[in-house]
Amino acid sequence: MKIRILAAAVAILLATFSCTEVLDRTPQGVYTLDNFFQTEDQAVQSVNAIYNQLRRWETHVFSYIGMTDIVSDDSEKGSFPSDGFFLQEVEDFEHTASNVAPSTVWAGYYDGVFRANLAIANLPEVPEMNENLRARLLAEARFLRAYYYFSLVRWFGDIPLILEPFPANFEIPRTAAAEVYAQIEADFQAAADVLPEKSAYPAADLGRATKGAALAMLARVALTRQEFQAAADYATAVIESDEYGLLTNYSQNFRRAGENGRESIFEVQATALEIGGAGSQYNEVQGVRGEPNLGWGFNRPSDNLIQAFEPGDPRREATILYVGEVLPDGSAIVEDNPNIVGERYNQKAFVEEHPGGNGNGPGNIRLFRYADLLLIAAEALNEIGQSAQALTYLNQVRARARGTNNRILPDVTTTDRDQLRNAIWHERRVELALEQQRWFDLVRTGRAATVMQALGKNFVPGKHELFPIPQGEIDLSQGALTQNPGY
């Protein structure tokens, strides 16, 4: 009897021995790198995820606007005085290494870099897929990596240049900006070599990086590097591709109907689905604050910007939304907000009513317009002595702005290099106002100190051209990162 119980006990003990299957677990409901990158679909998804980062808060929304427009002479912070105070610090050049804005974009753009590196490292390993698609996806990933690095290097100068997803150690020092630019150019070039033209993509792929976008980016990089011949060549290649043109109506560029239009070279895709998940807050943060309530009211066009427009330039009206003005879609009149003094808004960021609330903005974020490219071409050609061709491109932009009203915006005729340069810079400012190009233009042309100091800003030359490396990043790098001068 007892023997039997003993036997049963031993049997149970042995049975528990075999219970080791409770140790065998596989991740539930997710792929791991062990079983991902196995199919063509997964390859596409890995690249889609790099585009996803473009639409996020960290990348192209609040801090981004602060570090492109608000920091420049184009605009002020906007909203209530104390709302988004860290952007006020940016506007006033009071920002420290603990400011939220630089640390936000830093993290956002490096997330994009990581996703691109992951795809670039793994796409070649996908066992079976269409080789053309593989090449195209790799080129898209390299385009996007270059895009992220291009913003980072302009904001922060020397930065860690990371080209693989899983670096062996995390203490990565800064790479000289020149080397970063070399990599950016190599990536854009590799993309330009492989990517189809905008018209050659299937319609369903509208919005992906194109050959034209890569060449246009190369032109912008070259101009930033003051490599004028190269800038002129790249820009000319894009112009001659005949893929792009100016829309007849300037303001059409910023309406939903103008998205991915003939003038669009590259833009971040967004839409307002009922369930959300496809929009961005780009529109909301710049939307009218008050009645009608469209957003937060940041990025207030500055007096200085208003004065920059030539008399009668219709682009001023297309750029700035005033109190008492009818909204571009005619739906309402902007009412005075008693809590904000002198409010005005970025009309280019306006979107009509859409599902999912203001935060679910459907507006694509325009990163590169053909007009921008024409002005890059004009600027570069002027610098290499081809002022006639420069004038042609400059005047194309003015002519479109002028429309049928011949009393305004006469053609520029000067062929004096300095005068023409100034005319082109002026044209860039008003044509691209509040499109997040101004700050980079001021810095690349060496005018940031003069322009900002003239406005009474506390701009310290040699310091404020660059943003501080976030202190947390220096700490976590174990001191491998150094701080920018003056911070």
Partner 1 sequence: MPKKLLLLATNLLLSAWVMAQFSVSGTVTGSGEPLIGVSVLVVGTGSGTVTDIDGKYRITVEPGQDSLEFSYLGYQTQRIAIGSAREIDVVMTEASAVLQEVVVVGYGIQKKSDLTGAVSVVSTEELVDIPTQSLGQALQGKVSGLQIIPTSGTPGADAIFRIRGVGTLNNADPLFVVDGMILNDISFLNPRDVASVSVLKDASATAIYGARGANGVIIVTTKQGSGAGQITVSAYTGYQQVVKTIDLLNATQYATLINEADVNEGRQPRYANPEQFGTGTNWQDEIFRTAPIQNVQVGFSGGNEKSSFNLSANYFRQEGIIVGSEFDRFTTRINTTRAVKDWLQIGSNLSLVLSTSQNVNAGGILLDAYRADPITVPRDSLGNFGNTAIRGNTGNPLATIEFNDNKSQDYRAVGNVFAQAQLWKGLSFRTSFGLDFVYFRSRSFSPVFEVSANQRNEESDLNVLNTYRRNWLWENTLNYNQEFGRHRVDGVVGITSQDNFGEFLSGGRTRLIGEDPSFFYLNSGDPLTSTNGSGPSGGDWGLVSYLGRVNYSFDERYLLTVSGRVDGSSRFGENFRYGFFPSVGLGWNVSQEDFWNDGGIVSRLKLRASWGQTGNDRIPEYAYTPSVTSGVNTVFGPNEILLPGATVTSLANPDLRWEETTQTDLGVELGLFENKLLLEADVYRKVTDGVLFNAPIPDYIGAGASIRNIAAVLNRGLDMQLTWRQRGRAFSYSLGGNLSLVKNEVLQLDGSMADFFSGGLGIGGQLGTNSRAGFTAGSFWGYEIDGVFQNQEELTQFPTLGTQRPGDLRFRDQNGDGVITAAGDRVVLGSAIPDAILGLNGSLEVAGFDLSFDFTGQFGNEVINAKKMARFGAYNYETSFLDRWTGEGTSNTEPRITLAGQNIETLSTRFIEDGSYIRLRNLSLGYTLPESIASRLRLRSCRLYVSGTNLWTSQEYSGYNPEIFNGLVFDAGIDRGGIYPIAKTVNFGLDLQF
Q: Which of residues 90-109 bind partner 1 (CB under 8 A)?
A: 92, 94, 96-103, 106-107
Piece of the chain touching partner 1 by CB under 8 A; list 45-53, 125-133, 219-227, 385-393: 45-53
Closest CA to 95 of 79, 64, 78, 71: 71
b/e sequence 33-52, b meaning 16+ C-beta within 10 Å = eeebbeeeebbbebbeebbb
- Is 455 one of the binding residues for partner 1 (CB under 8 A)? no
Among 65, 138, 139, 159, binds partner 1 (CB under 8 A): 159
Asked whether the beta carbons of 93 and 457 are under 8 A apart, the reply is yes
- Is 414 one of the binding residues for partner 1 (CB under 8 A)? no
Asked whether the beta carbons of 199 and 217 are under 8 A apart, the reply is no
26 vs 404, which CB is nearer to partner 1? Answer: 26
Piece of the chain touching partner 1 by CB under 8 A; list 233-241, 273-281, 415-423, 432-440: 273-281
Closest CA to 130 of 51, 39, 193, 202: 39
- Is 151 one of the binding residues for partner 1 (CB under 8 A)? no
Among 52, 175, 241, 392, binds partner 1 (CB under 8 A): 52
Among 115, 198, 220, 316, binds partner 1 (CB under 8 A): 115
Among 38, 40, 57, 83, binds partner 1 (CB under 8 A): 83
- Is 420 one of the binding residues for partner 1 (CB under 8 A)? no
User: Smallest gap, in angstroms, from Cβ of residue 28 to partner 1?
Assistant: 4
39 vs 132, which CB is nearer to partner 1? Answer: 39
User: Smallest gap, in angstroms, from Cβ of residue 110 to partner 1?
Assistant: 4
Asked whether the beta carbons of 37 and 125 are under 8 A apart, the reply is yes
- Is 277 one of the binding residues for partner 1 (CB under 8 A)? yes
Asked whether the beta carbons of 134 and 123 are under 8 A apart, the reply is yes
- Binders of partner 1 among residues 172 to 191 (CB under 8 A) are 172
- Is 168 one of the binding residues for partner 1 (CB under 8 A)? no
Q: State the Cα–Cα distance between residues 266 and 372, nearest whole angstrom.
A: 11
Binding residues for partner 1, rule CB under 8 A, total 119
28 vs 406, which CB is nearer to partner 1? Answer: 28
User: Smallest gap, in angstroms, from Cβ of residue 194 to partner 1?
Assistant: 18
- Is 5 one of the binding residues for partner 1 (CB under 8 A)? yes
Q: What are phi and psi of 300, to 5 degrees?
A: -75, 120
Asked if residue 165 has a cis previous peptide bond (ω within 30° of 0), the answer is no
Q: State the Cα–Cα distance between residues 381 and 304, nearest whole angstrom.
A: 28
User: Smallest gap, in angstroms, from Cβ of residue 314 to partner 1?
Assistant: 28
Q: Is 437 helix (H, G, I), strand (E, B) or coil?
A: coil
For residue 224 the two structure tokens come to 């930033």
- Is 476 one of the binding residues for partner 1 (CB under 8 A)? yes
User: Smallest gap, in angstroms, from Cβ of residue 185 to partner 1?
Assistant: 21
User: Smallest gap, in angstroms, from Cβ of residue 446 to partner 1?
Assistant: 22
Among 71, 118, 126, 423, binds partner 1 (CB under 8 A): 118
Closest CA to 234 of 431, 376, 405, 113: 376
For residue 176 the two structure tokens come to 């000289």
- Is 269 one of the binding residues for partner 1 (CB under 8 A)? yes
Asked if residue 127 has a cis previous peptide bond (ω within 30° of 0), the answer is no
Beta strands in 297-456 (DSSP E): 298-301, 320-322, 344-346, 365-369
- Is 153 one of the binding residues for partner 1 (CB under 8 A)? no
Among 229, 252, 293, 414, binds partner 1 (CB under 8 A): 293
Angle at CA of residue 51, ends 47 and 52, nearest 5°: 110
Residues in the chain: 487
Q: State the Cα–Cα distance between residues 194 and 177, nearest whole angstrom.
A: 26
By rule CB under 8 A, what string of x and - marks binding of each residue 339-378 to partner 1? x---------------xxxx---x----------------
Q: State the Cα–Cα distance between residues 107 and 66, nearest whole angstrom.
A: 15
- Is 55 one of the binding residues for partner 1 (CB under 8 A)? yes
User: Smallest gap, in angstroms, from Cβ of residue 460 to partner 1?
Assistant: 7
Q: Is 76 helix (H, G, I), strand (E, B) or coil?
A: strand
Q: State the Cα–Cα distance between residues 90 and 81, nearest whole angstrom.
A: 13
Amino acid at 234: Y
Among 124, 127, 128, 203, binds partner 1 (CB under 8 A): 203
- Is 121 one of the binding residues for partner 1 (CB under 8 A)? no
Piece of the chain touching partner 1 by CB under 8 A; list 13-21, 232-240, 421-429, 431-439: 13-21
Query: Between the CA of residue 26 and those of 23, 34, 154, 401, what are the distances in Å?
Result: 10, 11, 44, 61
Q: State the Cα–Cα distance between residues 14 and 19, nearest whole angstrom.
A: 9
357 vs 410, which CB is nearer to partner 1? Answer: 357
Among 33, 178, 332, 333, binds partner 1 (CB under 8 A): 33
- Is 207 one of the binding residues for partner 1 (CB under 8 A)? yes
Piece of the chain touching partner 1 by CB under 8 A; list 115-123, 309-317, 324-332, 415-423: 115-123
- Is 401 one of the binding residues for partner 1 (CB under 8 A)? no
Asked whether the beta carbons of 133 and 43 are under 8 A apart, the reply is yes
